[in-house]
Amino acid sequence: MKTIHLKLEPLTCPSCIKKIEGTIAKMAGVTYVKVLFHSSKVKIQFEENLVNPDQLEATVTALGFTVNAAKMM
């Protein structure tokens, strides 16, 4: 089990939370996802043998959000 923090561009619409959390949660290997709206961060816990950090980052980008930094915890 690994945890990654993605720092995004400043989030402005509260509906973005549902958009990101909903999509990431559906990905295989993801056990926990939380969007920190005010600090514009996504915290994701995942099984590293099922999904890799690049895929997670790519998914968030595909949703239309710029990922400024990724940090493995």
Partner 1 sequence: MKWVQKYINHITGVSGFLLLTATASYLAGFATIQEVALILATFIAGVPIAIKAIQALRVKAFSIELLVTIAVIGALIIGEYVESAAVTFLFLFGAYLEARTLEKTRASLKELIDMAPQEAVILQKDQEVTIPVEAVQPGDKVIIRSGEKVPVDGSVINGRASINEAAITGESVPVTKHKDGHVFGGTIVDHGYLEVVAEKVGDDTTFAKIIELVEEAQETKSKTEKFLDRFAAFYTPAVVLLAVLVYLLTQNFHLSITFLVVACPGALVIGAPVSNVAGIGNGAKHGVLVKGGDVMDRLAKIDTMIFDKTGTLTKGKPEITGIKTFHEEGEDELLRLAARAETLSEHHLGRTIVMEANNRGMAITAGVTGDVIKGAGLIATVEGRHLLIGNAKLMAKEKISVPSEIEAYAREREKQGNTAIFTAIDGKISGVISIADRIREEAAKAIAAMRHNGVRQVIMLTGDNPHTAKLVAERLGLDEFHAELLPEEKTAFVQELQAAGHKVAMAGDGINDAPAIASADIGLAMGAGGTDIAMETADVVLMADKLNQLAHAHALAKATTRNMKQNTTFAVLTVLILLTGVLLGSIHLASGMFIHEASVLIVILNATRLMRFGRPAKERDGIPQPAI
Measure the CA–CA gap between 49 and 34, rounded to whole angstroms. 21
Comparing CB distances to partner 1, the nearer of 22 and 47 is 22
Minimum distance from CB of 38 to partner 1 (Å)?
Answer: 4
Euclidean distance between CA atoms 71 and 26, whole angstroms:
21
Q: Which of 29, 37, 52, 55 binds partner 1 (CB under 8 A)?
A: 37
Per CB under 8 A, 1 contacts partner 1: no
Positive or negative torsion for Cα 48, 33, 42, 61:
positive
Using CB under 8 A as the binding rule, whether residue 32 contacts partner 1 is answered as no
